[in-house]
Amino acid sequence: AQKIKKYLKQGLDVYVYFNNDFHGYAIENAKELSKLCK
């Protein structure tokens, strides 16, 4: 998350891909990463 925050502060676009498994954890992982990047 620290690298993403650094890139965002520089005005760069950041794209993240999550591998969604059978249990659908990717959605929760994306929400958590979003919180960490703020």
- Nearest-angstrom CA–CA distance, 8 and 19: 23
Per-residue pLDDT at 38 exceeds 90: no
The identity of residue 11, as a single letter, is G
The pLDDT value given to residue 22: 86
The pLDDT value given to residue 30: 95
Helices (H), 1-38: 2-9, 25-36
The pLDDT value given to residue 3: 96
Largest Cα–Cα distance in the chain? 36
- Is the overall model pTM greater than 0.85, yes or no? no
Structure-token pair, residue 4: 């993403």
In sequence order, what are the residues at sequence separation of 6 or more whose Cβ sits closer than 8 angstroms to the Cβ of residue 26?
A: 18, 19, 20
The pLDDT tens digits for 1-36 are 999 999 999 999 999 999 988 888 999 999 999 999
Task: Find the radius of gyration of the CA atoms of the chain.
Answer: 11
